[in-house]
């Protein structure tokens, strides 16, 4: 949803307020302001739509959920909070669209109350065509960067994408990149020297597993099923890739079963369970 407001010479009898569902391709030639109040997927498009609508159109946006031009916003660095980084991204969009972007903090009862305002342009009206091309290139570049990520990378390729300060932090805090990947094998999988994002929907067998049966049956012994919360269901923005019925781990507190303890002197006790696929929350650097 987007909120379109038109003010006419500050005479309230002439003010027109309209609320409607809009898309990124919507244009409002007669609008003075485009206002995005917690506009979710539409947030980065608000400056673009204002710039395309008319040279005199301005915008106000209050970012909340993190979206870019095609889906969930992917973080670029770990030195800033996710909220601060997203605000900087939306500010960058406004600058590319040719606005002088101002930032302010609203007095509202919310943790996300920073608003961004574009009231004036950085270019004369005769350069509007050139700015249109600049905006189109920027949006295309952002979409390509997000949609053409490789399926796997070698360790050297991953290391090359990290700056020296980050690599030093990995060595000091986690024992290096390889140790970090190994300790978080619920997320990463290394095959033939290449690092992949693990897909738990694939029923691949690992050493010690017997063929046959579903992944849920292989993921944890029957006495351990649903005794711990699913890491993906709790922490991943898209949830667990498996259904609740096929996942070995509980997708909610209601699904949790009490753990069944076996005396240590019992020779038939259940062997140690590897909860690697759904460990406790990842270290801060992996969030």
Report yes or no: 52 and 132 within 8 Å, Cβ to Cβ: yes
Domain that holds residue 211: 199-286
Whole-number percent of the chain with pLDDT over 90: 21
Question: What would the mean pLDDT of 31-58 be, rounded to a whole number?
Answer: 91
pLDDT at 247 over 70: yes
Q: Residue 170 falls within a domain, yes or no?
A: no
Establish if 88 belongs to a structural domain: yes
For residue 118, CA distances in Å to 6, 149, 279 come to: 15, 32, 44
Do strands 114-121 and 152-154 pair parallel, antiparallel, or not at all (unpaired)? Answer: unpaired
Query: Do 109 and 244 lie in a common domain?
Result: no
Q: Mark whether 8 and 139 lie in a shared domain.
A: yes
- Same structural domain, 8 and 131: yes
Residue 140, Cα to own-chain centre: how many angstroms?
19
Q: Averaged over 46-69, what is the pLDDT?
A: 92
Last residue of a domain, one of 119, 147, 175: 147
User: Are 134 and 223 found together in one domain?
Assistant: no
SS3 content of the chain, % helix, strand, coil (to 5): 35, 15, 50
Q: Are 137 and 33 contained in the same domain?
A: yes
Q: Select from 147, 163, 188 the last residue of a domain.
A: 147
Report percent pLDDT > 70 for the chain: 71
> Does residue 232 lie in a domain region?
yes
Least trusted range by pLDDT, from 32-41, 127-136, 138-147: 138-147
- The helix/strand/coil state of 53 is helix
Give a yes or no: residue 137 inside a domain. yes
Same domain, 136 and 255: no
- Could you tell me if residue 159 is inside a domain? no
> Do residues 11 and 132 both lie within one domain?
yes
* Domain count within the chain: 2
pLDDT surpasses 50 at 201: yes
Last residue of a domain, one of 112, 147, 182: 147
Q: Which band of pLDDT confidence, cut at 50, 70 and 90, is reported for residue 13?
A: low
Residues 133, 213: one domain?
no
Tokens of 77: 């660095």
pLDDT tens digits for 265-275?
655 554 554 44
Which are the contacts of 53, defined by CB distance < 8 A and separation ≥ 6?
27, 28, 29, 31, 34
In a domain, 165, yes or no: no
Query: Which residue spans within the chain are E strands per DSSP?
Result: 2-6, 16-20, 33-37, 58-62, 99-105, 114-121, 152-154, 188-191, 194-197
* In contact, 99 and 59? CB cutoff 8 Å: yes
> What three-state secondary structure class fits 6?
strand
Look at residue 188 and tell me if it is in a domain: no
Whether 193 is in a domain gets the answer no
């Amino acid at each position: 949803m987007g909120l379109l407001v038109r003010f006419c010479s500050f005479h309230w009898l002439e003010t027109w307020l309209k609320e409607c569902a809009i898309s990124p391709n919507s244009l409002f030639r007669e609008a003075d302001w485009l206002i995005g109040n917690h506009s979710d997927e539409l947030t980065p498009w608000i400056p673009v739509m204002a710039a395309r609508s008319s040279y005199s159109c301005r915008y106000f946006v209050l970012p909340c959920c993190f979206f870019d031009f095609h889906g969930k916003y992917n973080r670029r660095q770990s030195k800033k909070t996710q909220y601060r980084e997203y605000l900087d991204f939306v500010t960058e969009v406004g600058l590319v669209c040719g606005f002088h972007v101002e930032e302010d903090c609203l007095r509202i009862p919310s943790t996300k109350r920073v608003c961004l305002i574009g009231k004036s342009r950085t270019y004369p009206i005769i350069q509007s065509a050139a700015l249109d091309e600049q905006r189109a290139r920027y949006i295309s570049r952002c979409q390509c960067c997000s949609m053409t990520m490789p399926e796997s990378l070698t360790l050297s390729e991953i290391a090359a994408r990290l700056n020296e300060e980050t690599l030093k932090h990995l060595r000091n805090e986690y024992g290096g990149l390889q140790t970090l990947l190994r300790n978080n094998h619920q997320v990463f999988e290394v095959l033939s020297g290449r690092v992949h994002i693990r897909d738990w929907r694939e029923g691949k067998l690992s050493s010690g597993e017997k063929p046959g049966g579903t992944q849920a049956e292989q993921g944890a012994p029957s006495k351990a099923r649903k005794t711990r919360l699913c890491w993906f269901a709790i922490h991943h923005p898209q949830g667990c890739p498996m259904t609740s019925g096929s996942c070995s781990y509980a997708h909610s507190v209601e699904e949790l079963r009490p753990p069944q303890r076996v005396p240590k002197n019992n020779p038939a006790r259940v062997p140690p369970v590897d909860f690697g696929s759904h460990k406790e929350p990842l270290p801060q650097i992996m969030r």
